């Protein structure tokens, strides 16, 4: 039933979208980019924000009205890091199912990673991802491969990929290890203002390491993935970014306290270095692996309590630019295996806001406005998504409406993702998405 | 912890001391020469993904002597070679009528995965670098034949602790009964983190320190290929850590020397130490049978 409601406002294929208007009344707007944190009404018309004004000041009628009393109205959330698994891995996820999960999690834009089958390393595939036939219900921004087939040897056509609509390049799932290749990537990124996203892992040190190195890995008899294997790559990349004019480096799913040092150093030196942190890395420690729970296996792995402490500080103080989910759906047969053989990654779109509010806001007292920033203005700036991440007049009409006090229980069996690999099944969370609006149209309505 | 069938034995870590005592008492009552038919009509599958001499044969003899029927399934020559998953192999064995599965696997946690999805007891016969609970039990059984109690006993474990499931299980078991354990070896074999495994563990790099006052000395096999992966030379290891008759004198006069086998004479110990009166290495193998009889009897009588 929720499904029909969620999709009812989306134009059917081929149907020309009629002009629409939607008035969101009575809510409390938090828009860090526009420095708004106050009760406001918002008018959306023809896919744009046309007016933001104090309560009951907006004149002129709207075809639809949304009563947001008691709710937070924020710019549409942006996820810099998702795996939609299309093309080629549609048994895990499709663009349609992945974006439906995104909508349910309050995300109006997702940036999808290129490690599909085949790898997204050409303009044709970037175009393909963006075609309406894919059935996306939220905006999809492709991140293309930095090297052919992400093999780390030959650079892709950055300029062409950017022209086709890619917002960044990465070999995610694999690092760009070679110094010369990384230097060349960063040089081009500076020229084109086209971020290079690095999966920071020195794979020469992490072979057969399914979890974090520490007491738990020793106890379970598993080889440990040391934080230094991440930090050393972040360190090298920041050094390169400091040397190359305008280089744009974005560190994906930063997990270790050690890696933050290099990011801070880069930011202080005014190098264009950004980073993201996932909800699972600020929520769970490696102890969650407990008795070989493959839903706690991801790359980078869950770290120690001390790492979480440092990540929380960095999320609060501005070192971290964005919360990104690294939503990584896998079929059950890829997870119900011996721990070392199980696939890396978990789903995360539907639990991100709840975890951020529960952990960062309620437990660690990070202000709600900062959390909204990490989901909106922060990520919009990282990939330079113009007209997104803010509700300033003229912006895209992407809005996320949520109840920061609503308690709810995540039930993975009801997930909109095709996959079920979440460690948060049955978790009680505070903070729930009530409505997700993309281009002025309601794409998700929660309770 | 997810629920598993009663009678399963996945590791020592989560076993209560009382449960361990019960198993040891049961093992003491087991007589391999005149066994009782406690497993009459039961089907025990020995599922071995790794080579094994001692563990496999003693589980098999233990099961058969109590009247069970045994089937050996190995990775080569079975559907495992065709790519059948661990769980599907488990479901298949359950469907053909297995009452107990004894599993040896090169990957840590494999028995846990199987036990979490099957309704019959699963016995861990060694999983990767994780645990080898039947070995720890037979070692405790062996120690108690020579020492009155485990409480306060000084136990030194020398060698490649990092890769050793035997060492992990032994540390869990012995510390539950108040033994004091010293782990000894180079950092590559005994990382500092090893001390966090259980309460009351010490780490030392010097064998003399490990041996001083020791009641029990457990030596672990050192694999040459692992040494070559490290910066440690074989002759260095021998010079610093090999158990010799000379070094044995540092320990208490009545100290016993143990080794889970297979032993490599001339590497982790000299032939003289292996054959000396203080060595109980052969007893350990012998004691494997009654201990595994007890483990299987416990598994067989408590089907859910």
Query: Is A60 or A305 the better-scoring residue by pLDDT?
Result: A305
Q: CA A116 to CA B192: how far, in whole Å? A: 41
Residue B229 shares a structural domain with residue B91:
no
Please say whether the beta carbons of A113 and A170 come within 8 A. Answer: yes
Establish if B104 touches chain A: CB-CB under 8 angstroms.
Answer: no
Checking if the pLDDT of B66 tops 60, the result is yes
Residue B249 shares a structural domain with residue B212:
yes
Q: Which residues contact B138 (CB under 8 A, 6 or more apart)?
A: B27, B284, B287, B288, B291, B292
The predicted model gives B87-111 an average pLDDT of: 97
Out of B85, B130, B193, whose CB is closest to A221? B130
**CATH code for the part of the protein at A76-382:** 3.20.20.140
Q: CA A95 to CA A137: how far, in whole Å? A: 9
Residue B168 shares a structural domain with residue B267:
yes
Is residue B6 assigned to a domain?
Answer: no
Residue B73 shares a structural domain with residue B154:
no
- Nearest CA to A212 out of A288, A113, A265 is that of A288
Residue B70 shares a structural domain with residue B141:
no
Distances (CA, A) of A436 to A17, A110, A352, A440, B113: 18, 13, 14, 10, 39
User: What average pLDDT does chain A have?
Assistant: 95
Is residue B7 assigned to a domain?
Answer: no
Is residue B69 assigned to a domain?
Answer: yes
SS3 of residue A442 by DSSP: strand
Give the model's confidence band at B234: pLDDT under 50 very low, under 70 low, under 90 confident, else very high: confident
The predicted model gives A279-305 an average pLDDT of: 97
The predicted model gives B31-57 an average pLDDT of: 93
The predicted model gives A181-200 an average pLDDT of: 98
Residue A447: the pLDDT is 77
Residue range B201-220, pLDDT digits in tens: 999 999 999 999 999 999 99
Give the model's confidence band at A13: pLDDT under 50 very low, under 70 low, under 90 confident, else very high: very low
Checking if the pLDDT of A46 tops 80, the result is yes
What does the domain layout of chain A look like in residue ranges?
2-73+396-445, 76-382
Is residue B190 assigned to a domain?
Answer: yes
Give the model's confidence band at A4: pLDDT under 50 very low, under 70 low, under 90 confident, else very high: very low
A291/B109 Cβ within 8 A: yes
Burial A315-331 (b: 16+ CB within 10 A, else e): bbeebbbbbbbbbbbbb
Is residue B3 assigned to a domain?
Answer: no
Nearest CA in chain A to B189: A218
DSSP B111-153: HHHHHHH-SS-EEEEEETTTB-HHHHHHHHHHHHHHSS-STT-
Checking if the pLDDT of A380 tops 50, the result is yes
Which tokens hold the place of A4?
Answer: 């029909």
Number of separate helices (H) and strands (E) present in chain A? 14, 18
Quote the pTM value: 0.94
Residue B83 shares a structural domain with residue B222:
no
SS3 of residue A436 by DSSP: strand
| ipTM entry | 0.96
Q: CA A24 to CA B24: how far, in whole Å? A: 71
Is residue B63 assigned to a domain?
Answer: yes
Tally of domains in chain B: 2
Q: CA B93 to CA B91: how far, in whole Å? A: 6
Establish if A291 touches chain B: CB-CB under 8 angstroms.
Answer: yes
Is residue B1 assigned to a domain?
Answer: no
**Alpha-carbon distance B130 to nearest alpha carbon in chain A (angstroms):** 4
Domain containing residue B61: 17-131+286-300
Out of B87, B131, B197, whose CB is closest to A218? B197
CATH number at residue B31: 3.40.50.1370
Q: Which of A13-17, A178-182, B249-253 is the least confident region?
A: A13-17
Checking if the pLDDT of B127 tops 70, the result is yes
Q: Which of residues 310-349 of A touch B (CB under 8 A)?
A: 333, 336-341
Checking if the pLDDT of A5 tops 60, the result is no
Distances (CA, A) of B44 to A265, B47, B59, B301: 61, 9, 9, 13
Nearest CA in chain B to A208: B107
Which tokens hold the place of A79?
Answer: 């996820």
Q: What are phi and psi of B27, to 5 degrees?
A: -60, -40
Please say whether the beta carbons of B182 and B156 come within 8 A. Answer: yes
Residue B290 shares a structural domain with residue B271:
no
Residue B29 shares a structural domain with residue B125:
yes
Checking if the pLDDT of B232 tops 90, the result is no
Give me the CATH topology for the region A2-73+396-445. Answer: Urease, subunit C; domain 1 (2.30.40)
Burial B268-286 (b: 16+ CB within 10 A, else e): bbbeebbeeebbbbebbbe
Is residue B2 assigned to a domain?
Answer: no
A214/B193 Cβ within 8 A: yes
Work out the angle between the directed axes of helices B133-146 and B281-300 (0-180°, nearest 10).
120
- Residues of A annotated catalytic, as ranges: 326
Q: CA A19 to CA A24: how far, in whole Å? A: 17
Residue B293 shares a structural domain with residue B273:
no
Residue range A76-98, pLDDT digits in tens: 999 999 999 999 999 999 999 99
Residue B229: the pLDDT is 67
Residue B144 shares a structural domain with residue B167:
yes
**Beta-strand (E) ranges in A83-194?**
107-112, 139-145, 168-170
Out of A214, A221, A333, whose CB is closest to B108? A221
A336/B193 Cβ within 8 A: no
Residue B278 shares a structural domain with residue B291:
no
**Alpha-carbon distance B30 to nearest alpha carbon in chain A (angstroms):** 31
Residue A246: the pLDDT is 96
Residue range A400-415, pLDDT digits in tens: 999 999 999 999 999 9
Q: CA A328 to CA A120: how far, in whole Å? A: 16
B13/A338 Cβ within 8 A: no
Residue range B258-280, pLDDT digits in tens: 999 999 999 999 999 999 999 99
Q: Which residues pair with A277 in a beta bridge?
A: A323
Residue B168 shares a structural domain with residue B117:
no
**Beta-strand (E) ranges in A252-340?**
272-277, 322-323
Which of A220, A226, A340 to substitute to test the interface with B, most B CBs within 10 Å? A220
The predicted model gives B60-80 an average pLDDT of: 92
Helix (H) or strand (E) holding A404: strand A399-409
Q: CA B304 to CA B296: how far, in whole Å? A: 15
Q: CA A342 to CA A340: how far, in whole Å? A: 6
């Amino acid at each position: 039933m929720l499904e029909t409601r969620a999709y009812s406002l989306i134009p059917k294929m081929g149907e020309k979208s009629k002009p629409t208007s939607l008035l969101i009344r009575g809510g409390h707007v938090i828009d860090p980019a526009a420095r708004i944190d106050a009760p406001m009404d918002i008018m959306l018309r023809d896919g744009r924000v046309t007016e933001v004004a104090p309560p009951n000041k907006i004149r002129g009628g709207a075809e639809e009205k949304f009563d947001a009393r008691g709710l937070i109205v924020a710019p549409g959330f942006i996820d810099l890091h998702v795996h939609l698994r299309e093309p080629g891995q549609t048994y895990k996820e499709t663009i349609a199912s992945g974006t439906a999960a995104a909508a349910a999690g309050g995300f109006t834009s997702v940036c999808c990673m290129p490690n599909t089958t085949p790898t997204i390393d050409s303009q044709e595939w970037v175009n393909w991802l963006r075609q309406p036939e894919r059935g996306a219900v939220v905006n999809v921004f492709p991140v293309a491969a930095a090297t052919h087939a992400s093999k780390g040897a030959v650079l892709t056509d950055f300029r062409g990929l950017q022209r086709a609509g890619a917002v960044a390049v990465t070999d995610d799932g694999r690092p760009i290890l070679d110094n010369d290749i990384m230097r060349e990537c960063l040089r081009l990124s500076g020229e084109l203002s086209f971020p290079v996203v690095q999966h920071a892992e020195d794979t020469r040190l992490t072979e057969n390491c399914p979890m974090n190195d520490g007491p738990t890995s020793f106890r379970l008899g598993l080889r440990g993935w040391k934080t230094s294997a991440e930090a050393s790559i972040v360190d090298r990349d920041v050094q390169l970014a400091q040397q190359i004019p305008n280089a744009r480096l974005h560190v994906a799913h930063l997990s270790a306290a050690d890696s933050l040092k290099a990011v801070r150093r880069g930011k202080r030196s005014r190098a264009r270095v950004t980073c993201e942190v996932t909800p699972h890395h600020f929520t769970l420690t490696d102890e969650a692996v407990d008795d070989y729970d493959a839903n706690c296996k991801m790359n980078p792995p869950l770290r120690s309590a001390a790492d979480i402490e440092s990540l929380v500080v960095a999320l609060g103080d501005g070192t971290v630019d964005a919360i990104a989910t690294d939503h990584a759906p896998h079929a059950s047969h890829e997870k119900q295996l011996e721990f070392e053989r199980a696939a890396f990654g978990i789903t995360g779109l539907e639990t991100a806001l709840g975890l951020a509010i529960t952990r960062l806001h309620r437990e660690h007292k990070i202000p709600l406005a900062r959390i909204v920033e990490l989901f909106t203005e922060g990520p919009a700036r990282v990939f330079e998504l113009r007209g997104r991440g803010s509700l300033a007049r003229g912006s895209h009409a992407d809005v996320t409406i949520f109840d920061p006090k609503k308690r709810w229980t995540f039930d993975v069996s009801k997930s909109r993702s095709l996959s079920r690999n979440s460690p948060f099944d049955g978790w009680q969370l505070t903070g729930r998405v009530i409505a997700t609006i993309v281009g002025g149209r309601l794409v998700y309505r929660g309770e | 912890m997810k629920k598993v069938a009663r009678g399963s034995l996945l590791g020592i870590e989560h076993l209560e001391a009382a449960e361990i005592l019960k198993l040891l008492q049961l093992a003491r009552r087991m007589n391999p020469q005149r066994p009782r038919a406690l497993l009459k009509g039961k089907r025990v599958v020995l599922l071995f993904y790794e080579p094994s001499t001692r563990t496999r044969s003693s589980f098999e003899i233990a099961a058969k002597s109590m009247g069970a029927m045994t089937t050996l399934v190995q990775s080569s020559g079975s559907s495992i070679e065709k790519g059948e998953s661990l769980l599907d192999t488990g479901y298949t064995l359950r469907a053909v009528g297995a009452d107990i599965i004894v599993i040896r696997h090169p990957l840590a946690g494999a028995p846990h995965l199987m036990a979490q999805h099957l309704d019959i007891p699963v016995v861990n016969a060694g999983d990767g670098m994780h645990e080898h609970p039947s070995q720890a039990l037979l070692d405790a059984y062996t120690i108690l034949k020579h020492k009155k109690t485990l409480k306060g006993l000084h136990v030194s474990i020398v060698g490649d602790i990092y890769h050793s499931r035997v060492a992990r299980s032994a540390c869990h078991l012995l510390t539950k009964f108040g033994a004091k354990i010293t782990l000894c070896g180079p950092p590559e074999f005994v990382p500092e983190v090893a001390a966090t495994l259980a309460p009351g563990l010490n780490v030392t790099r010097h064998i003399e320190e490990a041996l001083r006052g020791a009641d029990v000395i457990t030596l672990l096999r050192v694999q040459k290929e692992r040494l070559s992966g490290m910066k440690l030379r074989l002759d260095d290891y021998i010079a610093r850590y090999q158990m010799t008759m000379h070094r044995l004198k540092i320990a208490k006069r009545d100290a016993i020397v143990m080794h889970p086998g297979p032993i490599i004479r001339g590497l982790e110990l000299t032939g003289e130490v292996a054959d000396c009166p203080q060595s109980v290495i052969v007893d350990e193998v012998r004691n494997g049978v009654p201990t595994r009889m007890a483990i299987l009897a416990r598994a067989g009588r408590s089907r859910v």
